[in-house]
Amino acid sequence: MNQYDLTDDQRAIQDMARRFTADAITPHAAEWDEKHLFPRETVKAAAELGFGGIYVSEASGGIGLGRLEAALIMEAMAYGCPSTSAFISIHNMAAWMVDRYGDEGVKEKYLSPILSADLLASYCLTEAGAGSDAASLKTKAVRDGDHYIVTGSKQFISGGGENDLYVTMVRTSDDGARGISCLVIEKDMEGVSFGAQERKLGWHSQPTAQVNFDGVRVPVSNRLGAEGEGFRIAMAGLDGGRLNIGACSLGGAQRCLDEAVRYTKDRRQFGKAIADFQNTQFTLADMETELQAARMLLYAAAVKVTEGTPDKTRFAAMAKRFATDTGSAVADRALQLHGGYGYLMDYPVERIWRDLRVHSILEGTNQVMRMIIGREMVRE
């Protein structure tokens, strides 16, 4: 696999994540998927390596890495299980929001147990009527002294019902995007409840459920940032989230490609290995070329997001769109190269094919990514 222009430290981080994946994720991923098991202890073990606070500052107890290093970690873990890697990415987004926007009281209360994964955190933005149009969300928070009274519900929440904390975007005024604030809400607060676990095509190793708030009293001290700053906080988290989901697609697709090479070298038809047929080699060549191109774009975008360049959002959108579409296409061709066996759960390409499909939908659909890219291209 091409190493891009990685430093020795970045390669060491990548190697550590790969070793962890080989030991703790890959051998168990098929069982997690088949039995819909949430590997909480594995997530906690990842946190012991610092993977619960990848870009949380060292001063706050995180490992203070950049977005490229985070992408390397997510890509490595997704090689074993894209679903579990994506879950850890979401936990990291919540951790970063608490570190970046929380005051000392909130950080002292929550950050250390988030980083150790003693408390797992979800990110709650999407609603039944507000997906990519985040500014139209309706979950309300009405100020009542030193508390907010929160009423509403959030849809498609990773960790819903299992996780302990919900970093939630709420409406504190009717002023469109400027009327949104961000609150940390605990699972055990009175009035918090959860819908049934969603039955999903993939991502079986992580729970997904609706989160409901029925007059939940949340201390004002649990707010991240100022009142009305929630939309900006949500958007700030999306660049990194998009990179991580793209990286999860790269890792899953790389696994599919490696499995396809191995299978086609072993499988014989018409007296020779199917890897010896020119058609097979051309297909593998296209898969490798497209995957490397997506990897280069994603790594470059990650550097831009870390450095805060003016075009970081456009590059994050391009990388997310390209990496997730490419990842799904590579997985699909890997399944095809396996023939009928690729359709069986005995082979990992079937599971990864299912897991990667949602990546072009979440963190902003790939159609929305095109809107972001195109809008910036024609903006004067």
Mean model confidence pLDDT for the chain: 96
Same domain, 258 and 180: no
- Residue 2 forms part of a structural domain: no
Same domain, 369 and 280: yes
**Residue after which a domain boundary falls, among 93, 115, 137:** 115
Same domain, 371 and 248: yes
pLDDT recorded at residue 176:
86
- Residue 329 forms part of a structural domain: yes
Same domain, 369 and 259: yes
Percent helix, percent strand, percent coil in the chain, to nearest 5: 55, 15, 25
Same domain, 215 and 267: no
How many domains does the chain divide into? 3
Which secondary-structure segment (H or E) carries 272? strand 272-273
Q: Please report, rounded to a whole number, the percentage of residues in the chain having pLDDT higher than 70.
A: 99
- Express each pLDDT in 136-162 by its tens digit: 899 999 999 999 999 999 999 999 999
**How many whole angstroms separate alpha carbon 97 and alpha carbon 31?**
32
CATH of the domain at 237: 1.20.140.10
**Residue after which a domain boundary falls, among 195, 228, 261:** 228
- Residue 278 forms part of a structural domain: yes
CATH of the domain at 167: 2.40.110.10
**How many whole angstroms separate alpha carbon 125 and alpha carbon 84?**
20
Structure tokens at 124: 């709650």
| Contacts with 329 (C-beta within 8 Å, 6 or more apart), sequence order | 290
Residue 290 reports pLDDT greater than 60: yes
Give the residue numbers spanning the domain of 73: 8-115
Q: Please report, rounded to a whole number, the percentage of residues in the chain having pLDDT higher than 90.
A: 94
The pLDDT-based confidence of 216 (bands split at 50, 70, 90) is very high
Structure tokens at 68: 């490229």
Beta strand ranges found along 82-241 (DSSP E): 121-124, 140-144, 147-158, 165-171, 180-186, 192-194, 208-219, 223-224
Which secondary-structure segment (H or E) carries 273? strand 272-273
Longest dimension (CA), the chain: 79
**How many whole angstroms separate alpha carbon 376 and alpha carbon 370?**
10
CATH of the domain at 90: 1.10.540.10
Same domain, 314 and 289: yes
Same domain, 340 and 263: yes
Report the b/e string of 320-356 with b at 16+ CB within 10 A: bbbbbbbbbbbbbbbbebbeeebeeeebbbbbbbbbb
Same domain, 318 and 192: no
- Express each pLDDT in 191-200 by its tens digit: 999 999 999 9
Mean pLDDT of 61-70: 97
Same domain, 243 and 318: yes
Mean pLDDT of 301-314: 96
The pLDDT-based confidence of 4 (bands split at 50, 70, 90) is low
Q: Quick count: other Cβ atoms within 10 Å of Cβ 28?
A: 17
**How many whole angstroms separate alpha carbon 246 and alpha carbon 241?**
9
The pLDDT-based confidence of 1 (bands split at 50, 70, 90) is very low
Residue 3 reports pLDDT greater than 80: no
Q: What is the tally of helices (H) and strands (E) in the chain? A: 11, 10
- Express each pLDDT in 80-137 by its tens digit: 999 999 999 999 999 999 999 999 999 999 999 999 999 999 999 999 988 778 778 9
Same domain, 262 and 357: yes
Same domain, 27 and 65: yes
**Residue after which a domain boundary falls, among 194, 228, 262:** 228
Q: What is the pTM of this model?
A: 0.96
- Express each pLDDT in 242-288 by its tens digit: 999 999 999 999 999 999 999 999 999 999 999 999 999 999 999 99
Measured in residues, the chain has a length of 380
Q: Could you give the residue numbers annotated as active site?
A: 363
Same domain, 240 and 334: yes
User: What is the torsion angle, in degrees rounded to the nearest 10, for the CA atoms of residue 285, residue 288, residue 290 and residue 292?
Assistant: -140
Ordered DSSP codes for 347-367: SHHHHHHHHHHGGGTSSS-HH
